[in-house]
Copies of this chain bind each other. A is one copy, B any other.
Amino acid sequence: MISMTLNQNVKTPLYEQLYEFIKSEIRNGTYVYNTKLPSKRQLASHLQCSQNTVQTAYQQLIAEGYIIAKPKSGFYVCRLDGLFLIDNQQIHPDKAGGKTAAYRYDFSHHGVDADSFPYAFWRRITKEVINEYDRDLLKLGNAQGDYALRQKIANYLHQSRSVQCTPEQIIISSGTEFLIQILIQLLPGNNIYALEDPGYERLSLIFKSNRVRYRYVTLDENGMTLEGLNNSQSDVICITPSHQFPTGNIMPVTRRIQLLNWANENEGRYIIEDDYDSEFKYSGRPIPSLQGLDAGEKVIYIGAFSKSLAPSIRISYAVLPDKLLESYRKRLSFYICPVPAIEQQVLCRFMDDGHFERHLNKMRNIYKKKREILVSAIRQHLPKVSIIGANAGLHLLIEVQNGMSEAELIVSAREASVKVYGLSQYCSSGQYINHKPTILLGYATMTQIEIAEAAKLLQKAWFSK
Residues of chain A at the chain B interface (Cβ within 8 Å): 62-66, 81-93, 95-97, 110-112, 114, 117, 119-120, 122-123, 126-127, 130-132, 135, 137-142, 147-148, 151, 154-156, 158-160, 166-168, 174-175, 177-178, 181, 185, 189, 202, 205-206, 209-211, 279, 281-286, 310-315, 331-332, 334-336, 338-343, 352-354, 356-358, 360-362, 364-365, 368
With both chains docked as a complex, state the minimum distance between the C-beta of A74 and any C-beta of chain B, in angstroms. 18
State whether A86 touches B160 (Cβ < 8 A): yes
29 A/B residue pairs, CB under 8 Å, sorted by A: A63-B365, A64-B361, A64-B362, A81-B285, A82-B286, A83-B364, A85-B159, A86-B155, A86-B156, A86-B159, A88-B155, A88-B352, A90-B151, A91-B154, A95-B167, A95-B168, A97-B142, A117-B132, A126-B127, A174-B339, A174-B340, A177-B336, A178-B338, A185-B211, A210-B210, A312-B341, A313-B340, A314-B341, A342-B343
Residues of B close to A90: CB separation below 8 A:
151
Residues of B close to A368: CB separation below 8 A:
65
State whether A86 touches B357 (Cβ < 8 A): yes
With both chains docked as a complex, state the minimum distance between the C-beta of A168 and any C-beta of chain B, in angstroms. 7
Q: Nearest 5 CB-CB pairs, A to B?
A: A174-B338, A312-B341, A64-B361, A138-B310, A119-B132
Q: A64-B361, A95-B167, A156-B86 are in contact. Are A314 and B339 (CB under 8 A)?
A: yes
State whether B96 touches A147 (Cβ < 8 A): yes
Residues of B close to A81: CB separation below 8 A:
284-286
Q: A82-B286, A92-B151 are in contact. Are A358 and B64 (CB under 8 A)?
A: yes
- Among B97, B147, B159, B177, point to the contact of A147 (Cβ < 8 A): B97
Residues of B close to A335: CB separation below 8 A:
177
Residue of B nearest to A356 (CB): B86
Residues of B close to A361: CB separation below 8 A:
63-66, 83-84
Q: A142-B97, A205-B334, A338-B338 are in contact. Are A119 and B130 (CB under 8 A)?
A: yes
State whether A122 touches B130 (Cβ < 8 A): yes
With both chains docked as a complex, state the minimum distance between the C-beta of A148 and any C-beta of chain B, in angstroms. 6
CA distance A398 to B313 in the complex (A): 44
Residues of B close to A332: CB separation below 8 A:
209
Residues of B close to A334: CB separation below 8 A:
177, 202, 205-206
Residues of B close to A86: CB separation below 8 A:
155-156, 159-160, 354, 356-357
State whether A364 touches B82 (Cβ < 8 A): yes
With both chains docked as a complex, state the minimum distance between the C-beta of A433 and any C-beta of chain B, in angstroms. 21
Residue of B nearest to A280 (CB): B82
CA distance A371 to B405 in the complex (A): 71
Residue of B nearest to A341 (CB): B312
Residue of B nearest to A141 (CB): B312
Known: A84-B279, A95-B147, A181-B181. 14 other contacts (CB 8 A): A64-B358, A65-B365, A65-B368, A84-B364, A91-B154, A93-B151, A112-B138, A122-B130, A137-B312, A140-B312, A209-B331, A211-B211, A312-B341, A339-B340
CA distance A201 to B434 in the complex (A): 52
CA distance A114 to B138 in the complex (A): 7
With both chains docked as a complex, state the minimum distance between the C-beta of A27 and any C-beta of chain B, in angstroms. 11
CA distance A341 to B181 in the complex (A): 22
